[in-house]
């Protein structure tokens, strides 16, 4: 009897593993260009849950989508060749000049030196590295999925390599919300086919469980993908995936705190964490499959 | 007409009736509002509830609504504890009636109008009535504190087996008094930031500001308030259980001063979070140790008493280990109330201490949302443990006997402890599994948590149905409860 229980548990575990693997092989092409930029005009907007009027006095552009695996692979090839990043102990690392240290409670010093960008041995990394050619390629089926796992250092380095930067929290929120008090990029309420979040029941969840898997960037474009009807869910300025799919690193370096802020919620978040003002944070060297990024210029 | 009056008198003028109404209100509130989150939301029940009940839920007001919700439930829990205290600690009848009347109106106003305001549009009259309810609760707290004054001649201990000071001051009564006065002060610590944030509609959940490097004094006051209020609610139920088990003797004489000084120390520590956050934590640790030690002595005394009483009942003078164990487990209500105090160390205090020790080395290496899950699980579990102890006590007081007592007690105990253990694994999952591979573990732990909590809810529902059906009987249990004299000492 005891053996039967052990066998049953093992079988369940194997089924879980197998379904997670199946999800990684899905192939869905986005209908929104991965290279587009959305223009955000200068002006005031309402920031935060309590709608504090905030001014951004300049125009800027934000990527329509999160940076994809394909884009990041291309960047790594170029950055490696240019000597901007290096491979050390199966990690992509790059130099970071360090943060000002304020000695605040719980604050850790972020010193100058090489910092982790990408863990090459992480089983969930969707990039393959050819050591002979010194080239990266996105895993088949994941070319247009958001680049994960990537640390804040890795995200920042990507943006800066092309002369761009990570958005500040204010820039990110304005791009997601526009100038009214909406809680979600597309409006006042959230439906399951607005975004990729916990138990949103997208096709990727069928195989991988409620936490799901990343969806291709721009997936929620109002079209039907493999029989799954999405709602067109851009922000007022046309940016997609500003809620759900992956948390997005922002560029601010908070005073008295070494953590960096994340916005937007992810595939593993409950719907309320997809509200535009919701904050998460993590150490700048932290990475997982629910954190990606996009740039502004 | 007379029969209605009799039942009204039972429900609002007897201790068991009042507690029954308050538990029913909490059960109803929990049943309705639990559909708005967690698995119920996943199953689509939330949408049905919102539509069917005509709720008006604005996304930006979610945190404010939650603050209203748990204050509403907390007021009902506090009312229950006040009923227990006024029934078991001697005071004048006029005091008992005034306190219970004020606290009944207080929690009902808070619960009904607070939720109405929060979830069904913002009628400001209801908001005013909600605040009136809270004010009544505070007023009843003042009356209770006065009634518990331990230094009157008539309150000095008559039986020297109970803890007493050099002048015969009843240390247990002093512990109740200390808890009551600490509660009043701690309410003010919360009321000040509450009116500030509530007035500007900038309500927030404490778990959302934990990583802010510079918290304002008012934010710190909220954090101190919510911690100390839960601690004081726990101290109150511990003292009620002490009365229930007739705690006395040497352990009582050690435990009561520990409770008094522990309560004072933790309370001061929680208040000092505002000006001296770092130092305040150490004070809280010291105070917590004293109270937890007192609870340990109560548990040791209680376990011995349960074994001794049962063996005496069976006429066994020389008992082996097995007989003693069976005797200990004979009454799941009394054993359960004590066991939950032990189990709390594994599920809440232990993880809490672990979190405090490893905050920078482990917990803050993870994203803030992971830390938030631990915090939320932590105080949900502590609240639920207190709730189960209240249920054990209440079930005993309303005369649950025989197989029903066994079934109710064990279902609540095993169900809740299964859920707590599952939630502990869930909240600390990042210690042993990465985010990408966690789904199977999440599914299993939440399944066990749902099974455990579901069992508790069914047992509670059965108790409620039994009591409500009883109300329709001409000479039901309610009639005895309505006329039962208070047995306070």
How does residue A33 score in pLDDT terms, banded at 50, 70 and 90? low
Q: Is the pLDDT at A101 greater than 70, yes or no?
A: yes
- Interface mutation vs chain B, best among A126, A193, A211, A267, most B CBs within 10 Å: A211
Nearest by CB to B213, which of A123, A209, A256?
A: A256
Asked whether the beta carbons of residue B435 and residue A288 sit closer than 8 angstroms, the reply is yes
Q: What's the token pair of residue A81?
A: 């060749």
For residue B397, the tally of other CB atoms under 10 A from its CB is 18
Q: Would you mind telling me the total number of residues written for chain A in this entry?
A: 297
Phi/psi at B229 (5° precision):
-65, -40
Same-domain status, B218 and B322: yes
Residue B177 burial (10 A CB sphere; 0-12, 13-18, 19+)? buried
- Interface mutation vs chain A, best among B356, B367, B442, most A CBs within 10 Å: B367
pLDDT at B202: 81
Please say whether the beta carbons of B64 and B85 come within 8 A. Answer: no
Same-domain status, B106 and B196: no
Contacts of A51 in chain B (CB under 8 A): 60
Same-domain status, B31 and B46: yes
Last residue of a domain, one of B147, B179, B209: B147
Asked whether the beta carbons of residue A262 and residue B367 sit closer than 8 angstroms, the reply is yes
SS3 (DSSP) at A283: coil
- Boundaries of domain holding B103: 17-147
Among the listed residues A1, A61, A3, the one whose alpha carbon sits nearest the alpha carbon of residue A35 = A61
Same-domain status, B324 and B346: no
Task: Report the chain A residue with the minimal C-alpha distance to residue B366.
Answer: A282
The residues facing A47 across adjacent strands are A52
CA dist., res. B270 & res. B277, Å (int): 9
Which letter, b or e, does each residue of B280-298 get, where b requires 16 or more Cβ atoms within 10 Å of its Cβ?
A: beebbeebbebbeebbbbb
Same-domain status, B252 and B399: no
Nearest by CB to A254, which of B59, B201, B213?
A: B213
Distance of CA A275 to the CA centre of its chain: 16
Among the listed residues A37, A91, A78, A90, the one whose alpha carbon sits nearest the alpha carbon of residue A161 = A78
Same-domain status, B308 and B205: yes
Please say whether the beta carbons of B75 and B137 come within 8 A. Answer: yes
ipTM for this model: 0.88
- For B334, the enclosing helix (H) or strand (E) is helix B332-344
For residue B426, the tally of other CB atoms under 10 A from its CB is 19
Right CATH number for A2-67+146-292 from 3.30.70.360, 3.90.1580.10, 3.90.79.10, 3.90.850.10?
A: 3.90.1580.10
Quote the number of domains for chain B: 3
Could you say which residues of chain B have pLDDT below 50? none
The three-point CA angle B405-B407-B410 to 5° equals: 100
Please say whether the beta carbons of B148 and B81 come within 8 A. Answer: no
Contacts of A289 in chain B (CB under 8 A): 435-436
Q: Could you tell me if residue B1 is inside a domain?
A: no
pLDDT at B307: 97
Q: Is the pLDDT at A10 greater than 70, yes or no?
A: no
Task: For residue B432, give every residue at least 6 positions away whose Cβ sits within 8 Å of its Cβ, in sequence order, or none.
Answer: none
Phi/psi at B15 (5° precision):
-60, -50
**What is the nearest CA distance from A266 to chain B, expressed in angstroms?**
11
Asked whether the beta carbons of residue A16 and residue B365 sit closer than 8 angstroms, the reply is no
For residue A27, the tally of other CB atoms under 10 A from its CB is 11
- From first CA to last CA, the distance across chain B in angstroms is 36
Contacts of A188 in chain B (CB under 8 A): 59
DSSP string, B394-443: HHHHTT--HHHHHHHHHHHHHHHHHHHHHHHHHHTGGGTS-GGG-HHHHH
How does residue A215 score in pLDDT terms, banded at 50, 70 and 90? very high
Same-domain status, B210 and B287: yes
Q: What would the pLDDT profile of B111-167 be if each residue is shown by its tens digit?
A: 999 999 999 988 999 999 999 999 999 999 999 999 999 999 999 999 999 999 989
Please say whether the beta carbons of A128 and A259 come within 8 A. Answer: no
DSSP string, A173-201: HHHHHTTS--SBTTBS---GGGS--TT--
Last residue of a domain, one of B94, B121, B147: B147
CA distances in angstroms from B465 to A46, B3, B24, B379, listed in the order given:
50, 20, 10, 29
Q: Could you tell me if residue B11 is inside a domain?
A: no
The three-point CA angle B283-B284-B285 to 5° equals: 90
Task: For residue B112, give every residue at least 6 positions away whose Cβ sits within 8 Å of its Cβ, in sequence order, or none.
Answer: none
Asked whether the beta carbons of residue A281 and residue B367 sit closer than 8 angstroms, the reply is yes
pLDDT at B390: 97
Same-domain status, B285 and B168: yes
| Pairs across A and B, CB distance < 8 A | 95
Report H helices in B148-276: 171-199, 217-244, 250-272
The three-point CA angle B126-B132-B137 to 5° equals: 130
Region of residue A70 (left: phi > 0; alpha: psi -120 to 50; beta: else): alpha
Task: For residue A155, give every residue at least 6 positions away whose Cβ sits within 8 Å of its Cβ, in sequence order, or none.
Answer: A67, A166, A249, A292, A293
**What is the nearest CA distance from A198 to chain B, expressed in angstroms?**
9
CA dist., res. B254 & res. B262, Å (int): 12
pLDDT at B197: 81
pLDDT at A174: 96
Please say whether the beta carbons of B101 and B136 come within 8 A. Answer: no
- For B301, the enclosing helix (H) or strand (E) is helix B277-314
Task: Report the chain B residue with the minimal C-alpha distance to residue A285.
Answer: B365
Q: Residue B281: which CATH number? A: 1.20.120
**Mean of the per-residue pLDDT values of chain A:** 88
CA dist., res. B426 & res. B26, Å (int): 26
Q: Could you tell me if residue B269 is inside a domain?
A: yes
Nearest by CB to B42, which of A124, A199, A283?
A: A199
Please say whether the beta carbons of B366 and B438 come within 8 A. Answer: no
- From first CA to last CA, the distance across chain A in angstroms is 64
Last residue of a domain, one of B147, B170, B200: B147
Phi/psi at B200 (5° precision):
-100, 5
Asked whether the beta carbons of residue B443 and residue A209 sit closer than 8 angstroms, the reply is yes
A148 compared with B479, residue with greater pLDDT: A148
Asked whether the beta carbons of residue B440 and residue A209 sit closer than 8 angstroms, the reply is yes
Same-domain status, B164 and B311: yes
Same-domain status, B63 and B126: yes
- Interface mutation vs chain B, best among A17, A50, A254, most B CBs within 10 Å: A50
Contacts of B200 in chain A (CB under 8 A): 50
Region of residue A112 (left: phi > 0; alpha: psi -120 to 50; beta: else): beta
**What is the nearest CA distance from B240 to chain A, expressed in angstroms?**
39
Same-domain status, B142 and B32: yes
Nearest by CB to B439, which of A208, A275, A280?
A: A208
Q: Could you tell me if residue B3 is inside a domain?
A: no
Contacts of A210 in chain B (CB under 8 A): 42, 439, 442-443
Please say whether the beta carbons of A296 and A166 come within 8 A. Answer: yes
Asked whether the beta carbons of residue A20 and residue B439 sit closer than 8 angstroms, the reply is yes
Helices (H) and strands (E) counted in chain B, each on its own, are 18, 0
**What is the nearest CA distance from B219 to chain A, expressed in angstroms?**
16
Those residues of chain B whose CB sits closer than 8 Å to some CB in chain A are 37, 41-42, 59-60, 62-63, 200-202, 204, 208, 211-214, 277-278, 359-360, 364-369, 434-440, 442-443
Please say whether the beta carbons of B174 and B167 come within 8 A. Answer: no
Q: Is the pLDDT at A1 greater than 60, yes or no?
A: no
**What is the nearest CA distance from A93 to chain B, expressed in angstroms?**
19
CA dist., res. B264 & res. A80, Å (int): 62
Same-domain status, B160 and B305: yes
How does residue A8 score in pLDDT terms, banded at 50, 70 and 90? very low
Q: Is the pLDDT at A245 greater than 70, yes or no?
A: yes
Contacts of B442 in chain A (CB under 8 A): 209-211
Mean pLDDT of A3-15: 45
Among the listed residues B487, B413, B486, the one whose alpha carbon sits nearest the alpha carbon of residue B456 = B413
CA dist., res. B95 & res. B101, Å (int): 10
**What is the nearest CA distance from B206 to chain A, expressed in angstroms?**
14
């Amino acid at each position: 009897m005891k053996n039967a229980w052990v066998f049953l548990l093992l079988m369940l575990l194997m089924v879980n593993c197998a379904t997670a693997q199946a999800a990684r092989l899905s192939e869905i092409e986005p209908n929104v260009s991965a290279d587009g930029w959305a223009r955000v005009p200068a002006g005031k907007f309402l920031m935060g849950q309590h709608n504090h009027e905030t001014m951004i006095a300049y125009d800027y552009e934000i990527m329509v989508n999160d940076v994809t695996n394909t884009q990041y692979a291309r960047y790594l090839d170029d950055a490696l060749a240019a000597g901007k990043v290096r491979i050390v102990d199966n990690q992509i690392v790059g130099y970071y000049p360090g943060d000002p240290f304020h000695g605040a409670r719980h604050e850790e010093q972020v010193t100058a030196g090489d910092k982790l960008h990408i863990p090459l041995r992480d089983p969930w990394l969707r990039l393959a590295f050819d050591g002979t050619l010194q080239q990266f390629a996105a895993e088949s089926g994941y070319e247009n999925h958001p680049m994960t796992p990537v640390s804040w250092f890795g995200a920042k380095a990507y943006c800066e390599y092309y002369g761009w930067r990570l958005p500040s929290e204010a820039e990110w929120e304005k791009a997601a919300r526009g100038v009214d008090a909406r809680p979600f990029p597309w409006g006042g309420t959230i439906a399951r086919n607005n975004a990729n979040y916990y138990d949103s029941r997208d096709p990727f969840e069928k195989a991988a469980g409620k936490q799901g898997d990343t969806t291709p960037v721009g997936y929620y474009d109002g079209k039907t993908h493999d029989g799954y009807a999405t709602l067109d869910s851009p922000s007022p300025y046309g940016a997609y995936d500003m809620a759900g799919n992956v948390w997005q690193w922002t560029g601010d370096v908070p005073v008295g705190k070494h953590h960096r802020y994340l916005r937007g919620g992810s595939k593993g978040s409950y719907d309320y964490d997809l509200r535009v003002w919701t904050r998460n944070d993590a150490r700048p060297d932290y990475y997982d499959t629910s954190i990606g990024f996009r740039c502004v210029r | 007409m007379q029969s209605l009056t009799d039942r009204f008198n039972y429900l609002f003028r007897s201790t068991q009736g009042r507690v029954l109404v308050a538990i029913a209100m909490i059960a109803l509130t929990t049943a309705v509002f639990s559909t708005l989150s967690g698995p119920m939301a996943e199953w689509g029940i939330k949408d049905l509830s919102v539509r069917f009940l005509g709720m008006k839920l604005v996304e930006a007001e979610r945190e404010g609504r939650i603050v209203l919700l748990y204050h509403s439930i907390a007021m009902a829990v506090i009312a229950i504890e006040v009923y227990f205290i006024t029934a078991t600690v001697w005071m004048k009848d006029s005091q008992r009636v005034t306190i219970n009347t004020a606290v009944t109106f207080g929690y009902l106003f808070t619960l009904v109008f607070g939720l109405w305001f929060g979830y069904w549009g913002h009628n400001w009259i209801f908001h005013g009535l909600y605040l009136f309810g809270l004010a009544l609760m505070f007023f009843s707290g003042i009356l209770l504190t006065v009634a518990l004054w331990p230094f009157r001649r008539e309150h000095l201990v008559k039986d020297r087996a109970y803890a007493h000071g050099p002048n015969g001051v009843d240390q247990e009564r002093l512990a109740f008094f200390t808890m009551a006065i600490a509660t009043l002060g701690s309410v003010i610590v919360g009321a000040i930031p509450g009116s500030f944030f509530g007035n500007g509609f900038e309500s927030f959940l404490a778990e959302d500001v934990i990583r802010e490097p510079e918290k304002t004094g008012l934010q710190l006051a909220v954090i101190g308030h919510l911690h100390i209020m839960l601690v004081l609610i726990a101290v109150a139920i511990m003292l009620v259980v002490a009365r229930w088990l007739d705690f006395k003797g040497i352990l009582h004489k050690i435990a009561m001063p520990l409770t008094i000084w522990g309560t004072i120390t933790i309370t001061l520590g929680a208040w000092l979070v505002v000006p001296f956050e770092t130092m305040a934590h150490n004070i809280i640790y010291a105070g917590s140790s004293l109270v937890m030690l007192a609870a340990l002595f109560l548990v040791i005394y209680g376990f011995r008493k349960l074994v001794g009483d049962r063996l005496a009942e069976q006429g066994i003078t020389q008992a082996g280990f097995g007989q003693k164990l069976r005797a200990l487990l004979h009454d799941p209500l009394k054993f359960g109330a004590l066991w939950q105090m032990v189990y709390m160390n594994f599920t809440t205090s232990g993880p809490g201490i672990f979190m405090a020790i490893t905050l920078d080395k482990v917990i803050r290496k993870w994203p803030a949302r992971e830390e938030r899950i631990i915090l939320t699980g932590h105080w949900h579990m502590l609240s639920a443990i207190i709730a189960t102890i209240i249920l054990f006590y209440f079930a005993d007081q309303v005369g649950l006997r025989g197989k029903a007592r066994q079934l109710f007690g064990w279902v609540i105990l095993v169900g809740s402890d299964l859920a707590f253990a599952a939630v502990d694994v869930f909240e600390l999952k990042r210690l042993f599994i990465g985010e990408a591979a966690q789904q199977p573990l999440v599914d299993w732990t939440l399944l066990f948590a749902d099974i455990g909590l579901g069992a508790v809810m069914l047992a509670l529902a059965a108790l409620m149905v039994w009591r409500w059906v009883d109300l329709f009987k001409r000479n039901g249990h309610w009639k005895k409860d309505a006329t039962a004299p208070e047995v306070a000492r």
